[in-house]
Amino acid sequence: MRKKAARGQQKKDRRGARREEVEILYEEEITALYADADGNIYDAPGIEGLGRSGRDTMPLEVRDLIPLPASADLMFLPERQAVGRDGDGNLCRLPGRAVSALLPAGYTRLALPAFLSEDEANPLPLYGYTAVVLYRGELHAAALYTDENTKWDPANYNTHSLKKLVARVRKDLPNNRIVEQVAGCSLEWHCLTAQNLFYRRWEAGIPVSPACNANCLGCISLQPAECCPSPQERITFRPTVKEVVDVGLYHLQSAPDAIISFGQGCEGEPSLAADTIAAAIREMREVTDKGQININSNAGWTEGIKKIVDAGLDSIRVSIISARDDSYDAYYRASYHMDDVKASIRYALEHGVYVSLNLLFFPGFNDREEEYKAWCDFFTDLPVQMIQIRNLNIDPDVFLETMPPQQGQALGARTFLEKLHAAFPQLVIGSFSHFVES
């Protein structure tokens, strides 16, 4: 809004006021970004920044932009040219690579970065690529803050004291292979759930299974050699019941809001170690009733889930990408199917287990009309307590080439979540596992 000049200065300041108005209008523009070969990021004045939903390039709305979180990372996309829209409404190539934001947990991306791939471009590493632009002179991401949980603030992790804390737990629990595994995950892979064991707080991971009954397209611990590298290394051993119990009691008995979780990024499917987990739960519950015992699972092996539930499981978070059989099968490429997952969830709900879904979210896929309808049917039949929205870490083109073709229109990521919450108001929509009071 242009300032009103004093009467005596009106003629003198008219040009300056006009300049101010132009500057304000410029700041209100959503401006495209691009990066050079050295990773330096530039804006493209006069070129509108765009996003992408599925395969469709689209303009971004101001309401879908938030200031880039301080803990977010920026990266440029190799072999992908940045694009924008000029003043005539035409798509134009920019003189550099597309730029993407990698958001911290708790933020749900609403749009992918827009780009044009070079011929035979190599697959991108497994990250959650988010559109980022310049708005009002600052970097903004196309995202929504979906869960206020300071426990997962990156500022609480990777502190200078971490190495000493790892050494302390190694001394307290000598020769425990689980401790050695999560120590490596903490110091090398910077896994937050692993680090919580050493910080003695909140949710700590206990990996147990090197095997899996699925071959997920975006698996973060095991990928074929010709694909992109995995960001974590899977465990190569099967822990004993004693190793699990020692680590579990160590955490449950001393940590505030203690949660121990089976099913980490560095392992396969934990329910395949059901006998070990069930025996460990029973032994731990003979000693303490403190804390919460959780499993992160694909829930595909119902018999294994039943054993673990019967042993005294408190909560389960089920990894899922779609409520439709064909889409589910295309992504998980598993030895089980959606009906098995539903049977596991039903058994858990019937036995008083808190059930949340780890919904792998991809703009232009999960928010399609056919997906929304399937989710409405799913939640009507299986009233789970929570869904945790997780940005799917994958190359967008690799994902879309694998999944079934789109049938209906995409509602838009924000609209999808709003409609889901309106249809099922009791359903908690967040991003993290919450400590459940017993």
Confidence of residue 4 (pLDDT cuts 50, 70, 90): very low
What does the pLDDT read at residue 2? 22
Structural domains of the chain sorted by starting position, each given as residue range(s) with its CATH number in brackets: 7-145 (no CATH), 150-430 (3.20.20.70)
* Higher pLDDT pick, 14 / 131: 131
What does the pLDDT read at residue 83? 98
Alpha-carbon span 421 to 372, nearest angstrom? 12
Q: Look up residue 147 and give its two tokens.
A: 């869960």
Mean pLDDT of 414-425: 95
Strands annotated E in 206-300: 259-262, 292-297
What does the pLDDT read at residue 220? 64
Task: Say which DSSP state 402 is in.
Answer: H
Confidence of residue 26 (pLDDT cuts 50, 70, 90): low
What does the pLDDT read at residue 7? 27
What does the pLDDT read at residue 3? 24
Mean pLDDT of 376-401: 96
Q: Is the pLDDT of residue 436 over 90?
A: no
Could you identify the residue written with the tokens 């509108």?
Answer: 48
Q: Are strands 30-35 and 129-135 parallel, antiparallel or unpaired?
A: antiparallel
What does the pLDDT read at residue 36? 95
Alpha carbon distance, N-terminus to C-terminus of the chain: 54
Alpha-carbon span 430 to 121, nearest angstrom? 35
Contacts 24+ apart (CB under 8 A), 18-25: none
Q: Is the pLDDT of residue 21 over 70?
A: no
Confidence of residue 438 (pLDDT cuts 50, 70, 90): low
Confidence of residue 222 (pLDDT cuts 50, 70, 90): low
Q: Is the pLDDT of residue 24 over 50?
A: no
Q: Is the pLDDT of residue 27 over 70?
A: no
Mean pLDDT of 59-75: 95
What does the pLDDT read at residue 18? 44
Phi–psi pair at 211, nearest 5 degrees? -100, 160
Residue 59 C-beta-side C-alpha neighbours within 13 Å: 13
User: What phi-psi label fits residue 72: left (phi over 0), alpha (psi between -120 and 50 degrees) or beta?
Assistant: beta
Q: Is the pLDDT of residue 348 over 70?
A: yes
Mean pLDDT of 390-412: 95
Alpha-carbon span 264 to 78, nearest angstrom? 29
Alpha-carbon span 389 to 431, nearest angstrom? 5
Q: Look up residue 418 and give its two tokens.
A: 């709003």
Confidence of residue 150 (pLDDT cuts 50, 70, 90): confident
* Residues sharing a CB contact under 8 Å with residue 396, sequence separation 6 or more, in sequence order: 52, 112, 124, 129, 362
Q: For the chain, what percent of residues have pLDDT higher than 70?
A: 90
Average per-residue pLDDT for the chain? 90
Alpha-carbon span 17 to 100, nearest angstrom? 36
Q: Look up residue 123 and give its two tokens.
A: 């697959």
Phi–psi pair at 39, nearest 5 degrees? 90, 5
Q: Look up residue 205 and give its two tokens.
A: 């991971």
What does the pLDDT read at residue 325? 97
CB 365 within 8 A of CB 83: no
pLDDT digits (tens, 9 = 90+) for 264-308: 888 999 999 999 999 999 999 999 999 999 999 999 999 999 999
pLDDT digits (tens, 9 = 90+) for 98-130: 999 999 888 999 999 999 999 999 999 999 999
Query: What distance lies between CA 70 and its chain's CA centroid?
Result: 17
Alpha-carbon span 386 to 145, nearest angstrom? 16
To the question of pTM greater than 0.85 for the whole model, the response is: yes
CB 104 within 8 A of CB 155: no
Mean pLDDT of 229-248: 85
Alpha-carbon span 113 to 299, nearest angstrom? 32
CB-based burial label for 350 (10 Å; 0-12, 13-18, 19+): exposed
Q: Which of 309, 292, 318, 298 is nearest to 351 (CA)?
A: 309
* Residues sharing a CB contact under 8 Å with residue 332, sequence separation 6 or more, in sequence order: 214, 215, 216, 217, 298, 300, 321
